[in-house]
């Protein structure tokens, strides 16, 4: 059974703070993804990674960075949190490239930036 | 600019009837389409998918139809059950990549 875990379910931070959101998957998936979910906008892709130390920008990378030092772990970093980054953040993972595979999602982290 | 659009934010149906959820896309490079279901406080879970070489895929009560010329797909749930009440997201992927684009979601409520 694939498991994707996220470090926190709820997080409250102040404007300007550096924020780390951690995601770990246990199925040896090559691909990992970070999305944010906002009402009326659905899931928007922030960053993704096809392999260790590799990263690709999604549709809304501004204000975010990522790190993938180990295959099972993908971190999303908010260098200086702002109120417009208040959102639900979802991490996902999937098997490798070539053929599209379903993504498995974590439970999400609801981040509030005050 | 959203490449995948779900124009109905909500849908309410009676238990036992058919639920039809719609999705439109704009990018002609998309060749694989998926539906995900999301309950509150949980991440989305995969429901059903379809490749662009097909126009229909069925799995139990769930059927996805793809109309490539119209760039439109739909999810049919028959018969609908109260446990189907959730937010449904349409997603699309193209080329050799595994990155996907999601729609805004449709909240389905199935009334007993």
**Which residues contact residue A7 at a Cβ distance below 8 angstroms, ignoring those fewer than 6 apart?**
A20, A21, A22, A23, A109
Q: Do B63 and B56 meet the contact criterion of CB atoms below 8 Å apart?
A: yes
What Rg, from alpha-carbon coordinates, does chain B have? Answer: 13
Confidence tier at A40 by pLDDT (50, 70, 90) = confident
Nearest CB neighbour to B89, from listed A43, A50, A58: A43
Which residues, listed in sequence order, are joined to residue B101 by a DSSP beta bridge?
B92
pLDDT value for A85: 98
Chain B residues touching residue A106 (CB < 8 angstroms):
43
Residues on chain A touching B103 (C-beta within 8 angstroms) = 42
Rounded to whole angstroms, how far apart are CA atoms A40 and B102?
Answer: 12
Main-chain phi, psi angles of A29, to 5 degrees: -70, 140
Question: Tens of pLDDT along A68-84?
Answer: 999 999 999 999 999 99
Contact at CB, A108 and B46, closer than 8 angstroms = no
Tell whether A41 is within 8 A of chain B (Cβ). yes
User: What confidence tens digit (pLDDT) does each residue in B63-107 have?
Assistant: 999 999 999 999 999 999 999 999 999 999 986 566 789 999 999
Contact A43 B41 (CB under 8 A): no
CA distance B14 to A113: 40
Give which of A99, A58, A94 is closest to A76, Cα–Cα: A58
Which residues on chain A are in Cβ contact (under 8 Å) with B21? none
pLDDT for the residue A102 = 87
Probe site for chain A from B99, B101, B107 (most A CB atoms < 10 A) = B99
- Alpha carbon separation from A99 to B49, B57, B62, B67 (Å, rounded): 13, 18, 23, 21
């Amino acid at each position: 059974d694939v498991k994707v875990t996220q470090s926190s379910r709820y997080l409250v931070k102040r404007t300007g703070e550096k924020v780390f959101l951690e995601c770990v998957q246990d199925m040896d998936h090559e691909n990992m993804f970070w999305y944010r979910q906002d009402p009326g906008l659905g899931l928007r892709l922030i960053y993704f990674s096809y392999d260790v130390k590799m990263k690709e920008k999604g549709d809304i990378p501004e204000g975010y960075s990522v790190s993938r030092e180990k295959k099972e772990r993908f971190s999303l970093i908010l260098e200086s949190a702002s109120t417009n980054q208040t959102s639900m953040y979802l991490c996902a993972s999937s098997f490798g490239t070539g053929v599209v595979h379903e993504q498995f999602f974590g439970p999400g982290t609801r981040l509030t930036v005050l | 600019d959203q490449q995948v659009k779900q124009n109905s934010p909500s849908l309410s149906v009676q238990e036992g009837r058919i639920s039809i959820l719609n999705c439109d896309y704009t990018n002609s490079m998309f060749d694989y389409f998926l539906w995900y279901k999301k309950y509150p406080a949980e991440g989305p879970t995969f429901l059903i998918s379809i490749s662009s070489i097909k126009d229909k895929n069925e799995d139990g009560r769930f059927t996805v139809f793809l109309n490539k010329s119209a760039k439109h797909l739909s999810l049919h749930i028959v018969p609908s059950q109260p446990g189907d009440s959730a937010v449904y997201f349409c997603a699309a992927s193209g080329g050799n990549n595994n990155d996907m684009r999601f729609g805004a979601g449709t909240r389905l409520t199935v009334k007993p």
